[in-house]
Amino acid sequence: MQLTKEKFIRDFKDAVHEAQLIKVPAATPTEAFVSLAKVIRKYYTPLWLERNRKISEDQKKVAYYFSIEFLPGRMLETNLLNLGILDTVKEGLADLGIDFEEVKNAEHDMALGNGGLGRLAAAFMDSLATTGYPGFGNGLRYKYGLFKQRIVDGYQVELPDSWFGSIGNVWETRKDHDIVDVKLFGNVYLQANEEGRIMPVYENAQILRAVPYDVPQIGFGNDNINNLRLWDVEIPEEYELNYPTVADRRRVQDITATLYPDDSSYEGKELRLIQEYFMTSAGLQTIIQSYLKQNRPLENIHEKVSVHINDTHPAVAPAELMRLLVDDYGLEWDKAWQTTVKTMSYTNHTILSEALEKWDAELFKNVLPRVYQIILEIDNRYVAELAQKGVNPETIENTRIVKNDQIHMANLAIIGGHSVNGVAKLHTELLKDDTLHDFFVLFPEKFNNKTNGIVQRRWTQIAAPELSEAIDKTIGTGWRTDIHELRKLNELADNPEILADFYQVKQDAKAKLAAYIKETTGIDVSTDAIFDVQVKRLHAYKRQLLNLLHIIKLYWDLKDNPDLDMVPRVFIFGAKAAPGYHFAKSVIKLINEIANLVNQDASLQGKLKVVFLENYNVSLAELIIPAANVSEQISLASKEASGTSNMKFMMTGAVTLATLDGANIEIKDEVGDDNIVIFGMDKDEVYQHYANHDYYSRGVYESNPTIKRVVDTFVNGTIPNSASEGTEIYEALITHNDEYFLLEDFEAYVAAQAQIDALYRDKEKWSRMSLLNIANSDKFTSDDTITQYAQDIWQLEN
Ligand code: 26V
């Protein structure tokens, strides 16, 4: 959109005046932020209305991305950038004596997600708007996002993330006219109606009101605005007598109170099922209503609507759509089923079978009695159909939805949809060959890969403005609109001046992070050190502990030989552990205690520093990632479905130190073997161990003195204040046979780290590697990923 600085200044002054009854200079950063958001809303509202009008006028097919998590982080700067008015606004504010950074920091992260899955959903929203495809999000309006992490005495403490604060969500709009009701609990029996049709009769159902709040998703440079619809729950006035006490009301409000913070185990809690159903049912109901406005037959809804199931959380969708089509709109089962399958598609985000949701049939039936009946019907028909085709009974049993009194949600998503995709090449291969192999044999045509992506604009233009300017200087500004132009950097990677420029940009980003580290932890770190970063959720399979084992080795090496010739290293961690994940919390405690140990030991001469930054979130990632020299992507091969921070590090010039897992493999394919450091077992070697049962960690420990010394450090009193956590870790590694093969990969990891040390000494060589990483990172733009979803899975037009 067009905007002059003068007009902006007028609008902004008016907004501050109107909202706060004060003149601009008196506004606090929060007040300035709220007013600025109001001004921006005024700018985009006509565009938003126009977009909605156009989509319904053109009767375009729309994809709805159903996700229990969306993790956009802050929206202010992206909204401005995407509207094309970021510089104008910054200049206008500067003229008024307002620091844009302060205003920007007044916005609370919208953290309605745990990690990669939620961040990916938010990235897709941005990219859908940017590519112009009609793709809307559907999720929940949690009052509390992912917990705020504090570290106290080295331990993780969780605090509620009340992100609404006193100002609420400045971007959202409540849409009363799209309110729908959602039914839970009660009894359902079947009865013939006047026409002789068998219909469900609900008794004592709880009826809740689903209220949508829409958050605009602004496309980059195209004035195109899509919708992220987040549902809130309310008690319908007409039923308020059913909720006489505060406790009764709270139980309802709980449905949208908090995001489940657990991405480490599947729990099977009733409230979670209610959350999943609530957003799915509400979403599908409004979708049907808006489709019907086009006066088209419901049995063809797939022609205008796609519903995407992001992981299994909304996987009740095929059954709920069947319920709506058959019960509420009177479609024949077969016609309803045909259109349902064509409407639905599903993404799997993990091969870890313990993460695939399975609901106890009793619990499910109690909460959703009618949906339960429908799932049984789907399952019965599925089994009968396959049996008739002569499919062997074992395959049928492996793939059916209901078995052993459990409902297998992934199976429902696969059977009830036409597409199943993994999120990186290796991950999709593993789904086909292993996790979902039986399904692949039955329905090979459903399977496809969509390698994840990232919103390049957030990770370059917003998080790394100095890097962006350096790129502009080198290849012009075309890359800002067409990321593929980054490839032009490939030809310039031998130019020492350019390399020096990029080196300096990295140093500046490191200095910024160093200042933050000093301010928040008191630790002094030198920008001459290698900034070696591992930031992601804390999980055994991601192997933060392997990183720690190497740190302990370096510690002993330096204790043995204080003059050891090594490039100083700062190991930086950021990680939240699920509140109930004991082991993960022990790893956090140990990182912090080892940090205390090494940071205070003067004999190490500052060569080794360890920093744990608390409350890792999107905004902190924007500070940390551009400052990294080394990107730690060291999951056990086969376990990390894709990873997406690996792509962000690459794009901002870190060198990846990685196992051949997830998207690391595709990063390697892009940069070539010389510009990445790969180590450890590959997926086949890991699987061979599984097949042969030949791994014995105690054997490795006892036969390798270095490993023994490192592991013993956890239990011999070297690390203060962590006896019980140390024991827990020792036992995981030795007594419980080291489930994620840390000891097996240890030596290869140490060698790879030595290689990093050697490479970094040659400043020019390192800078060249760094630049080539940036140059070839365009492959991971989520604009391209979403284009593949739109074309291959959803058949959309932009
Ligand atoms: C993970 C696990 C792992 C341990 C066992 C239980 C359990 C339960 C849930 C989850 C989270 C699974 C969904 C998820 O967040 N997957 C992540 O999705 C990202 C986006 O596709 C991808 O980049 C990450 O590799 C993947 O872990």
Residue 52 placed within a domain: no
| 486 in a structural domain | no
Q: In whole angstroms, what is the distance from residue 39 CA to residue 759 CA?
A: 50
Residue 69 Cβ inside 6 Å of ligand 1? The answer reads: no
Whose alpha carbon is nearest atom 13 of ligand 1? 349
Q: Kindly give the distance from the C-alpha atom of residue 559 to the centroid of ligand 1, in angstroms, as a whole number.
A: 38
Verify that 651 and 742 share a domain, yes or no: yes
Ligand 1 atom closest to the Cα of residue 423 is 21
Give the span between the Cα atoms of 445 and 401, in whole angstroms.
20
* Concatenated DSSP letters of 265-280: -----HHHHHHHHHHH
Please state, in angstroms and rounded to a whole number, the distance separating the CA atoms of residues 739 and 636. Answer: 10
Residue 423 Cβ contacting ligand 1 at under 6 Å: yes
Does 705 reside within a domain?
Answer: yes
pLDDT score, position 678: 98
With respect to residue 474, please indicate whether it lies within any of the assigned structural domains.
no
Residue 65 shares a structural domain with residue 212: yes
Name the residue at shortest CA distance from atom 20 of ligand 1. Answer: 117
| Residue located nearest, by CA, to atom 3 of ligand 1 | 264
Q: Are residues 563 and 696 in the same domain?
A: yes
Compute the distance from residue 68 Cα to the ligand 1 centre, in Å.
13
Backbone angles phi, psi at 727, to 5 degrees: -65, -40
Whether residues 408 and 550 fall in one domain? no
Instruction: Tell me 543's DSSP state.
Output: T
Is the CB of 264 within 6 Å of ligand 1? Answer: yes
How many angstroms separate the alpha carbon of residue 630 from the centre of ligand 1? 23
Q: What is the DSSP letter of 635?
A: P
Residue at token pair 């049962």: 693
Based on the fold, state whether residues 570 and 656 are members of the same structural domain.
yes
Residue 269's alpha-carbon distances to 22, 172, 750, in angstroms, are 49, 29, 42
Tens digits of residue pLDDT in 77-121 = 999 999 999 999 999 999 999 999 999 999 999 999 999 999 999
Residue with CA at minimum distance from ligand 1 atom 23:
643
CA of 278 to the centre of ligand 1 (A): 22
Predicted confidence at residue 21, as pLDDT, reads: 81
Tell me, what's the pLDDT at 553?
Answer: 98
- Check if 153 has its Cβ closer than 6 Å to any atom of ligand 1: no
Q: Where are the alpha helices (DSSP H) in 416-543?
A: 425-430, 437-442, 456-457, 465-475, 496-521
| Residue to mutate (ligand 1; options 68, 349, 582; most atoms within 8 A of CB) | 349
CATH number at residue 418: 3.40.50.2000
Is the distance from the beta carbon of residue 352 to the nearest atom of ligand 1 less than 6 Å? yes
Measuring CA to CA, which residue among 452, 478, 347 is closest to residue 783?
A: 452
Residue 642 in contact with ligand 1 by CB distance below 6 A: yes
Ligand 1 atom closest to Cα of 644?
Answer: 23
User: Whole domain around residue 697: which residue ranges?
Assistant: 522-762
CB atoms within 10 A of CB 59: 14
Whether residue 595 lies inside any domain: the answer is: yes
Residue 560: exposed, middle, or buried by beta-carbon count in 10 A (0-12, 13-18, 19+)? exposed
Examine residue 693 and state whether it is found in any structural domain, yes or no. yes
- Domain identity same for 620 and 527: yes
In ligand 1, which atom is closest to the CA atom of 311? 13
Phi-psi region of 666 (alpha: psi -120 to 50; beta: other; left: phi over 0): alpha
Same domain, 448 and 526: no
pTM of this structure: 0.98
Q: What is the DSSP letter of 177?
A: G
Q: Are residues 228 and 312 in the same domain?
A: yes
CA torsion sign, 387 to 391 to 393 to 397?
A: negative
Amino acid sitting at position 192:
A
Residues of the chain with pLDDT under 50: none
452 pocket-lining for ligand 1 (C-beta < 6 Å)? yes
Q: What's the token pair of residue 565?
A: 């010739």
Q: How far is CA 683 from CA 323, 440, 551, 636, 728, in A?
A: 42, 20, 25, 8, 27
Q: State if residue 120 touches ligand 1 by the CB under 6 angstroms criterion.
A: yes
pLDDT of residue 365: 98
Residues 629 and 726 in one domain: yes
The total number of structural domains in the chain stands at 2
Q: Does the residue 580 lie in any domain?
A: yes
How remote is the CA of residue 266 from the centroid of ligand 1, in Å? 11
Pick the residue whose CA is nearest to atom 15 on ligand 1. Answer: 117
Does ligand 1 have an atom closer than 6 angstroms to the CB of 663? no
Cα separation, 578 vs 261, in Å, equals 6
Pair of tokens at residue 144: 């509390």
Is 308 in the same domain as 440? yes
Which residue is closest in CA terms to ligand 1's atom 4?
264
Q: Which residues contact 108 (CB under 8 A, 6 or more apart)?
A: 74, 163, 164, 165
User: Does 644 sit in the ligand 1 pocket, CB within 6 Å?
Assistant: yes
Residue 195: the pLDDT is 87
Question: Which residues are catalytic, by number?
Answer: 349, 536-537, 542, 644, 648
